[in-house]
Amino acid sequence: MPKIIRLSPHVANLIAAGEVVERPASVVKELLENAVDAGASKITVEIRDGGMTFLRVTDDGCGMAPEDAKTAFLRHATSKLRSADDLAAISTMGFRGEALAAIASVSRIDLLTKTAGAISGTSLHLEAGEITEESEAGCPDGTTIIIRDLFFNTPARMKFMKSDSVEGSRVAAAVQLQALAHPEVAFRFLRDGKEVLSTPGSGGLEAAVYCVYGRECAKMVKVESRWENYTLTGYVSKPTDARPSRSLQTFFVNDRPVKSRLLISALEEAYRNQIMVGKFPACVLHLTLPATAVDVNVHPAKTEVKFLNEKSVFDCVHYGVLGALNKTPDRPQVQFSKPTLSGEVAHSTGGITPQPAKKESFFRTMTAEEYKSFTTVIKDAPQPKPAAAIATAAKVERTAMPPIREHVMLPQITPEEKPAIPPVQKIIPPIPEPEIEQVSLEMPKEIPWRMVGELYNSYIIVEQGEEAFLIDKHAAHERILFEKLKANQEAISSQALLTPVPVRLSPEAAAELLSNQPLLDELGFEIDEFGDNTILLRQIPMDLSPDDAGDAIETLATDLLNGRRENKNNIRDELLHTVACKAAIKAGWRTDDKELLALVDKVMSTEDLKYCPHGRPICVTLSKKQLEKQFKRS
Ligand code: ADP
Ligand code: MG
């Protein structure tokens, strides 16, 4: 047996350094945390060569007395903890007393520090953790620490470093993160002599987010909410501005940047059914909770935390973000791109391009005849029924099994299901009818709207005051149907097929479906094994057309195989998406004007109808001002 020995402090520090000091960015993170803990209001970070040869952090914090400055580099030396009890409620960024010792063990350090009120400061030089020079020095209040030749004595670690530009970018990210964590501190970051970041330190989180994310931030939605004794503040992206990855999701718990699956899923839950598959929201969110409700002593880098009450944390983030998203009233604007040299207006994604005049106009106003038919429906409409009565009426209709198309017609189309405020007041008649005029005179509060017509059999044009709306009819109908299906919390009602429909699937998909019969039951499907990887559909959800059932069951199988079964609500929602999508009126198809009008009425009267279940916008606005600008009238 080899003899056991106790490792020297130097070797112990090197081992610890492996965990805490991974690369220049992690050194910067630790030094910035120390400066923040020292109460600094201004912090400057400078690096050269990605931070490998030179890295300097200057702060105007409390500084250190001569004896403290030397002790600071010993392992487990800290001013932030006194006893084990203190571990239960940590209010500083650092507390492990490890960082300076670890950094010192793998670099050469110069330290200059002075406390306020002291006549002079202290200067120290360290090589691989050993103090080699010590002197009194004249210097400003605060601390400057210079790290040179990082990993000079650990060639193994040095080999893992990437190029200077990669390491430099990681340092930049670390500075950004601290700037977002502490908006009350002014941060400056210089890379090879050039200033690349500067935050004011006084303008609150918004100013910090603006400095880091640039103009992107203007499009974000502000979050501000309380939940029990937790508070959530910050900014989140709109569902339509989702990103291809989670890289712009930043969470802080009591000002500490953390990585947490719980927080990610709470955030993303708030975007469910509003965001495209494979896209992710961006955020800068600060969660503040009592220090005793969170344990930060989980990992040496302190980026992981444990919450005492995970459910409350989840709810605080989920409902906080959801509330903020639901509050954003605006609909995206039509974007025109700048005119090109030839004077034509170029294409831009999501924008519309003015077309040269064609013989037939794209815009068609309702004819007098058509208008009459609308007003008749409206005038004849009886008083609105209470919601419950409407629901039963809808159910009765369902069991009577009318053709699918009728099912998916919007509730407002039938006179019994008129919304509470009859749309009479909102419609400007192209040919004024005296009695309608009277009604509008009685209730002039809401700006009336008018359906102008439809473009490309896809986009409904609506005018309201000085604004026009373009409504994607498929997206709008899909969302309305989806909400209607979702509102029905019971098992999805189904229809029996006279002739069962065979669907051929991959062996895995068929097996997956057959082993999930109870779930399928709940979703309104009854299937049978037919052999040869084929299943027989005997019953399908009521609102699904038999022609679309094969596609729907295949999508369902894919969801199940992809493991989404963990969350039954997800599967159900996905199926409802599919049903709503298949049942909704299609872009490019002719749609009856009455149906369009009912759709418009619903969109105009429901404020939170903003995105289709896949996150595409339902409605974009085009203001009179925007148009006038295009025609050089303003
Ligand atoms: P910790 O931050 O966990 O206490 P560190 O090794 O990072 O451990 O720092 C050790 C101690 O050195 C700190 O507790 C603090 O008292 C002191 N210190 C470090 N950096 C600064 C600074 N920039 N200004 C004032 N004091 C500092
Ligand atoms: Mg520290």
pLDDT of residue 366: 37
Bridge-based pairing state of the strands 42-48 and 534-541: unpaired
Tens of pLDDT, residue by residue over 557-580, are 887 877 655 566 777 887 888 888
How far apart are alpha carbons 16 and 324 in whole angstroms? 43
Nearest ligand 1 atom, CA 78: 14
Nearest ligand 1 atom, CA 145: 23
| pTM of the complete model beyond 0.85 | no
The residue count of the chain comes to 634
Highest mean pLDDT among 64-73, 362-371, 481-490, 587-596: 64-73
- The stretch 601-615 carries a mean pLDDT of 81
**CB of 300 within 8 A of CB of 96?**
yes
Closest CA to 483 of 606, 617, 352: 606
**CB of 507 within 8 A of CB of 477?**
no
39, pLDDT greater than 90 = yes
- Residue with CA at minimum distance from ligand 1 atom 21: 34
Tens of pLDDT, residue by residue over 404-459, are 333 333 333 333 333 343 333 444 444 444 343 333 334 445 788 999 999 999 99
Closest CA to 262 of 205, 327, 308, 300: 308
**CB of 308 within 8 A of CB of 253?**
no
Tell me if 100 CB under 6 Å of ligand 1: yes
- The stretch 483-497 carries a mean pLDDT of 81
313 C-alpha to ligand 2 centroid (Å) = 27
Tens of pLDDT, residue by residue over 246-305, are 888 999 999 999 999 999 999 999 998 888 777 889 999 999 999 999 998 888 777 889
Classify 309 as helix, strand or coil: coil
The mean pLDDT value of the chain amounts to 80
Q: State the maximum Cα–Cα separation within the chain, in Å, rounded to a whole number.
A: 106
pLDDT class of 10 with cuts at 50, 70, 90: confident
Nearest ligand 1 atom, CA 99: 6
Task: Name the more confident of 17 and 107.
Answer: 107
Q: DSSP states of 330-356 as a string? A: --PBPPPPPB-TTSPBPP-TT---PPP
71 C-alpha to ligand 2 centroid (Å) = 13
Classify 222 as helix, strand or coil: strand
The number of helices, as runs of H, and strands, as runs of E, in the chain is 20, 22
Tens of pLDDT, residue by residue over 578-588, are 888 888 888 88
pLDDT of residue 154: 87
Neighbours of ion ligand 2 (CB under 5 A): 34, 94, 99
Q: What percent of the chain has pLDDT over 70?
A: 80
Tell me if 81 CB under 6 Å of ligand 1: no
Nearest ligand 1 atom, CA 62: 25
Closest CA to 93 of 258, 330, 337: 258
Tell me if 597 CB under 6 Å of ligand 1: no
Tell me if 122 CB under 6 Å of ligand 1: no
429 C-alpha to ligand 2 centroid (Å) = 71
488 C-alpha to ligand 1 centroid (Å) = 58
Task: Give exposure, 304-328, as e/b (b: 16+ Cβ within 10 Å).
Answer: ebebeeeebbbebbbbbbbebbeeb
How far apart are alpha carbons 606 and 4 in whole angstroms? 74
Classify 255 as helix, strand or coil: coil
Tell me if 94 CB under 6 Å of ligand 1: yes
pLDDT of residue 103: 95
Amino acid at 535: I
Tell me if 70 CB under 6 Å of ligand 1: no
pLDDT of residue 402: 32
Query: Taking the alpha carbons of 311, 313, 316, 319 in that order, is the dihedral positive or negative?
Result: negative
**CB of 506 within 8 A of CB of 475?**
no
- Ligand found nearest the CA of 43: 1
pLDDT of residue 283: 95
99 C-alpha to ligand 2 centroid (Å) = 5
